[in-house]
Amino acid sequence: MNKAIFIGELSLNVTLPSSDSSSMAATRVGDRLVKAAMLDGEMGVDTIFVGETAADAVGDHIISALEKSGIGTGSVDRFTEGASPVRISAATGDDSRAVIHSAYPSEPVNPIWPRVNEGDVAVYGSYMVIDKRNHSAITELLDHARARKAETVYLPYFDVRQVSRTTRVMPEVWDCLEAASLVIATTGDIAVLFPGEDAETAFRGHILFYCRRCLVLDYASLTMRFFDGDESWTLRCHPTDNDEFHWTAGAIAGAVRALTEKVNDPDDIMAKANETAHSILSDQ
């Protein structure tokens, strides 16, 4: 079976309970890309993670969580000069008061790059891939993946607290779009990158110039829309008890799994994404 190679940021996320709650703080490793990787690993997809985390206690916990989900971590760079990123936020979901602790080295990420074969799927996203410290190294891997005839899937999201102005990272975003054979974006991602534009306008006015295929996930309406050049398909998804984070990660995991199985038809890719997005597994 073809393998899935996920490239992105690794962090420990801590959610503090509200002042009137008796519950304890909750932790989660990573963001939507990391969760999707964990789901694919748990579904039996041969999964590898490329990223970086410090050789500290937080980094050990992150690596342990990935490996428990069946993810290969041999391509995670364990740096010694710095500290693994920790994000602390309140249960209310008010990200404006969230705190980010991190200390990355000045050198770019330097992992052992995994072997890429024809038919493999390289999935990349988060601030890590557009950070000027790492962008050239990530672009080099993506160029190699394309040359090896692998699928390249870009998730165009980042923590807006890491970017003072979106326009300052758009050159790197364009590079990432150009390297992709498929873009998977949420309606929220579209709103950040292309304010005031709906998904179709953003795709035809911007994304299509770089990548002809784009899957847009809309949790609010529980729909998926797949653009392929001049054509598009819409799927109304199953009802779900999952929150937006888990639904989105599940949809990404399902789409990536479909690609590793050489599924190319938009309807079939969305069907796999829908199946995983509403599953119990994605809410674990």
CATH number at residue 263: 3.40.1190.20
Number of domains in the chain: 1
Asked if the model's pLDDT at residue 225 lies above 60, the reply is yes
Half-sphere exposure of 185 (CA within 13 A, CB side): 27
126 CB-contact burial (10 Å; exposed 0-12 / middle 13-18 / buried 19+): buried
Dist. CA 14–CA 229, nearest whole Å? 41
Contact by Cβ (8 Å): 177, 194? no
Q: Give the length of the chain.
A: 284
Task: Tell me the two tokens of residue 87.
Answer: 């994000």
Q: Whole-prediction pTM value? A: 0.95
Asked if the model's pLDDT at residue 233 lies above 80, the reply is yes
Asked if the model's pLDDT at residue 19 lies above 80, the reply is no
Q: Within a domain: residue 14?
A: no
Going by C-alpha positions, the residue among 272, 277, 264, 252 that lies closest to residue 155 is 252
Dist. CA 263–CA 257, nearest whole Å? 9
Task: Tell me the two tokens of residue 145.
Answer: 């993946």
Element (H, E) at 188: helix 187-193
Q: Within a domain: residue 90?
A: no
At 100, is the pLDDT very low, low, confident or very high (cuts 50, 70, 90)? Answer: confident
Looking at residue 229, what is its pLDDT? Answer: 97
Q: Within a domain: residue 22?
A: no
pLDDT single digits (tens) 138-152: 999 999 999 999 999
Over 213-228, what HEC string results? EEEEEECCCCEEEEEE
Looking at residue 278, what is its pLDDT? Answer: 87
Provide the residue range defining the domain that includes 59: 4-9+33-81+107-283
For range 112-129, the mean pLDDT: 96
Q: Within a domain: residue 144?
A: yes
Q: Within a domain: residue 269?
A: yes
Over the chain, what is the mean pLDDT?
93
Q: Within a domain: residue 243?
A: yes
For range 250-274, the mean pLDDT: 97
Looking at residue 102, what is its pLDDT? Answer: 86
Contact by Cβ (8 Å): 256, 123? yes
pLDDT single digits (tens) 49-69: 999 999 999 999 999 999 999
Q: Within a domain: residue 41?
A: yes
Which of 25-34, 67-76, 154-163 shows the highest mean pLDDT? 67-76
Strands 26-29 and 223-228: unpaired
Asked if the model's pLDDT at residue 205 lies above 60, the reply is yes
Q: Within a domain: residue 21?
A: no
Asked if the model's pLDDT at residue 23 lies above 80, the reply is no
At 163, is the pLDDT very low, low, confident or very high (cuts 50, 70, 90)? Answer: confident
